[in-house]
């Protein structure tokens, strides 16, 4: 059974807008294995950064956990809170506006079983 969209949105808002904690084990489960593919996508698309985010309902606590990864073109990788902080730095004054705009789409993608990811180019 998939997590309802409102629960996913709440988890994303908590993690991305309210500086909530993210789950290291979820990062390992969702991202470590596909890291080479994410780097390849970053390189192929000639982006400066690529980030992805996921959520998963914790079977024990029933709470929707969140994990995030952000990769620079250099290959440097930021995990969870460090990824969020780096994205805040990249987007400077537009972070909150951008995230509020993206959360509904991310929640829908996650509900449908897709992994939201975005490539970023800087000027």
Residue 120 maps to a domain? no
In a domain, 121, yes or no: no
For the chain, how many structural domains are there in total? 1
Residue at 119 is within a domain: no
Q: Report the pLDDT value the prediction gives residue 1, as an integer from 0 to 100.
A: 53
Q: What is the pLDDT of residues 14-62, one digit of tens each?
A: 999 999 999 999 999 999 999 999 999 999 999 999 999 999 987 766 6
List of residues 6+ apart from 101 with CB closer than 8 A: none
Quick check: is 27 in a domain? yes
| pLDDT band, very low/low/confident/very high, at 64 (cuts 50, 70, 90) | confident
Task: Let me know if residue 22 belongs to a domain.
Answer: yes
State which residues form the domain around 25. Answer: 5-114
12 Cβ contact list (under 8 Å, min separation 6)? 53, 55, 66, 103, 106, 107
DSSP letters, 10-37, are HHHHHHHTS-----HHHHIIIIITTHHH
pLDDT in tens, 70-106: 999 999 999 999 999 999 999 999 999 999 999 999 9
pLDDT in tens, 96-122: 999 999 999 999 999 999 999 999 998
| Angle between helices 81-91 and 95-111 in degrees, nearest 10 | 130
Residue 123 placed within a domain: no
């Amino acid at each position: 059974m998939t997590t309802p969209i409102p629960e996913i949105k709440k988890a994303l808002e908590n993690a991305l807008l309210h500086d909530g904690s993210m789950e290291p084990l979820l990062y390992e489960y969702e991202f470590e294995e596909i890291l080479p593919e994410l780097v390849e996508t970053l390189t192929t698309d000639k982006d400066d950064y690529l980030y992805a985010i996921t959520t998963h309902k914790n079977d024990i606590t029933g709470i929707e956990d969140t994990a995030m990864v952000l990769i620079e073109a250099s290959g440097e990788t930021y995990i969870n809170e460090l990824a969020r902080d780096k994205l805040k730095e990249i987007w400077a004054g537009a972070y909150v506006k951008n995230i509020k705009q993206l959360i509904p789409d991310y929640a829908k993608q996650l509900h449908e079983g897709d992994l939201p990811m975005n490539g970023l180019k800087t000027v």
